[in-house]
Structure 1
Amino acid sequence: MARPHNKSEFCLNCNARIGDANYCPRCGQLNTDKQVPVKQFVHDAVGDYLTFDSRFFRSFVPLLFKPGYLTNEYITGRRVSYIFPFRLYLFISFLFFFTLAIKSQMETIQVVNPYTNTEEQLNKLDDLVRTTLPDLSRTERETLKAELDSAFLLRGKPKDHYINIDGDKSSHSTLEKILDNKIKKLASEGKTGPKMFLKSMIDQIPKIMFFLLPLFALLLKLFYIRHKILYINHFVFALHIHAVFFLYLLIPVFIPDNTVFFVVIILLMVYQLLAFRRVYRQSYVKTIVKLNLIWMVYFFLIIFAILLSGLLALASI
């Protein structure tokens, strides 16, 4: 028999009057005094984790291997057993972009100073000249010295030299000047410049996705307008589709091989086809046609998003 706990007249969480009730009618907190027994503490600490853990595996496995299943479960109202779609998307997208960011950061750190090899080569050339010059005539020495002068200038810190092919810079807009300065800054970083830019772009993509997801759901609504499906259900399907994309694309991130990437793309194409068929219940022919049209439009939106993320990346450098 459970041991009765001490009750409080007022809720300790929201201060609502409870009386003899076991739970607060306003916020739902257990009616007890400030003293929490060990059993209750352990239950509160472990209970939520175990609940999330079971829902995670119940959601993760069908998301990977049963295309469209989670979306149909949500539409039919069976939702408590699975992780909320938006939370599932946030978790997987965070995992994907965090992995990309870490990998990009590691590659940036591993980049060698771009002038190190040049310096070593110049030192070797210097030694070669010292041993060779005594054997040359005076005219040959002067000619060789003149030709090598430009190479020896690289010993100091390289300076930026740009050819003005765009006319008077003073006539350019403020935005063009800012972009020009950002590009010059990236160029001055040598080999680390592209890595910095890529890392900044990766940091911007999750923000851009919050605009792309509703647009993808809107495309689904337009292409399946005859189906009596609410927009929110299209949005749930969009969350599941993008979550699967991020999960599968983690494979080539960890195994950077062209063959692996090709296999993953094929798997994603098959997954999409099966998922769309299961959710919208149309023939393979109609599904393939609509998939191609949807992704054709979405491709242009993605290109625009990439350009936007590039501009944001430049602005953040």
Structure 2
Amino acid sequence: MKQKLVTCKNCEKDYEEGFQFCPHCGQKKDDELTLGVLFYNTISNYFSFDARFFKSYIPLMVKPGYLAKQFVQGKRLLYLHPAQMYLFISVIFFFLFSIISRDQIQNVDKAFKQDLNISKVSDSLAAKNTIDSIKIKELAQQLKDNGIAIPNKNIDVNTLDSLANSIDKKKLNASTAFDFNTKKVDSLIAIDAPNAEIYKAMGLPDDAGYVKRKLYAQGLKLYRQRNGGSILQMFYDSIPIAMFVLLPIFALLLKLFYYRKGPFAYHLVFTFYFFSFLFMVFSILILANLLFQLSAGSISLVILSTFLYLLLAVKRFYEQGFGLSFIKSSAISFLFLCFVIPLAIVTMGVTAFMFY
């Protein structure tokens, strides 16, 4: 008896009716679209959120170097692919990181606005001889808002003059990012003066080079917005991109110390799994700190334990003795933490300021 054939809705090829999945493309025969199916397909397609993740998670956390070892030995489908593992966990980490970074950005904005207020108070003190009684009250309130003690409520010009002389102007100017005449700059901005004229009021020399002019241009943009957190936000936004540069650099360091232990791709596999572990640890720390407010000592202890993880991971993956693994992992950590990451941070900071 001839077997009845059905046509796959996905690849449009015929196969025998008894199959539950298409033998050509693997799609389920009667894959009715429900909310659960839609949600599962979305997660699994983008993050491979299936049994392999749960099968890979425990070895990742408690068996350093095991997943990388299994992957390079040929077990490519049993566990989650290293790049997929890194992508999925990094998405979780940066989502949690965005929660705590929001408060930091708000604090920077607050400090930035306070900085501008102090600068305006400094300009007011420079013109104190022309201050009338209303201005005195306004200035007194500004001084109070910025933590400067006022002798009494009935302050007069002479008292204000004495107070102004008692203020360490160098210290006041050191606390502000803008040591130019903010009133003059504000007036130029108000009349929509050319930027070149505003730069000159800010102190830009006529013979300034490209870099200095660019810095003044960005400084003016920042001053116009009165939003210091925007640079910090861009800095945070550039971290995921920077990681795609830091990951191969870390793998390159491994290659230099273990140049006989396989091609560069082997070291990159190890790097993906190791940074997946780091992001998972940091994600757990963020969650725990949000719930329980961890102490600085406990956070430091957990961070230090990641070095022990690296030591055990390189020992298992590269199959060398404990002493040699300790020396090499220490050297790699030192070079990465003391040279690579600071250089990346400086580059990210300059890029954020120059191009935000």
* Superposition TM-score tier, normalisation by shorter sequence: 0.7 to 0.9
- Relative distance call for 1:183 and 1:63 in structure 2 (3 A) is farther
The equivalent of 1:302 in structure 2 is 341
The equivalent position to 1:233 in structure 2, one of 249, 253, 266, is: 266
Query: 1:47 & 1:169 partners in 2: Cα distance?
Result: 61
Query: 2:34 & 2:160 partners in 1: Cα distance?
Result: 82
- Relative distance call for 1:46 and 1:203 in structure 2 (3 A) is closer
Query: 2:35 & 2:144 partners in 1: Cα distance?
Result: 66
Alignment of 1:17-166 (within 5 A): 18=14, 27-29=25-27, 36=30, 38=32, 52-109=49-106, 112=110, 114=114, 115=117, 119=142, 121=144, 128-130=152-154, 143-147=158-162, 160-162=178-180
CA RMSD in angstroms, aligned pairs only: 4.1
Query: 1:170 & 1:90 partners in 2: Cα distance?
Result: 49
Q: CA deviation at 1:259?
A: 0.4
Q: 1:259 and 2:297 equivalent?
A: yes
Alignment of 1:168-247 (within 5 A): 169-183=205-219, 186=222, 193=228, 195-227=229-261, 229-247=262-280
- Across the two proteins, how many residue pairs are aligned to each other? 287
SS class of match (1:7): strand
Q: CA deviation at 1:206?
A: 0.9
Structure-2-length-normalised TM-score? 0.65
Structure-1-length-normalised TM-score? 0.72
The equivalent of 1:287 in structure 2 is 325
Whether contact under 8 Å (1:277, 1:284) holds in the other structure is yes
Query: 2:161 & 2:329 partners in 1: Cα distance?
Result: 65
Query: 2:177 & 2:275 partners in 1: Cα distance?
Result: 45
Q: CA deviation at 1:128?
A: 2.7
> Per-residue displacement from partner, 1:58-108 (whole Å, max 9, x unpaired)?
111111111111111212222323221111101112222222222111343
The equivalent of 1:138 in structure 2 is none
| Gap regions ≥5 residues in structure 1 | 134-141, 152-157
Query: 2:294 & 2:141 partners in 1: Cα distance?
Result: 30
Query: 2:35 & 2:152 partners in 1: Cα distance?
Result: 76
Aligned partner of 1:305: which letter? A
Whether contact under 8 Å (1:97, 1:202) holds in the other structure is no
Farther-moved stretch of structure 1 (21-30 vs 51-60): 21-30
Query: 1:246 & 1:180 partners in 2: Cα distance?
Result: 37
The equivalent of 1:155 in structure 2 is none
| Gap regions ≥5 residues in structure 2 | 119-139, 168-175, 182-199
- Relative distance call for 1:94 and 1:169 in structure 2 (3 A) is farther
- Relative distance call for 1:148 and 1:179 in structure 2 (3 A) is same
- Relative distance call for 1:273 and 1:172 in structure 2 (3 A) is same
SS class of match (1:312): helix
- Relative distance call for 1:122 and 1:19 in structure 2 (3 A) is closer
Query: 1:264 & 1:215 partners in 2: Cα distance?
Result: 24
Query: 2:83 & 2:90 partners in 1: Cα distance?
Result: 10
Aligned partner of 1:245: which letter? L
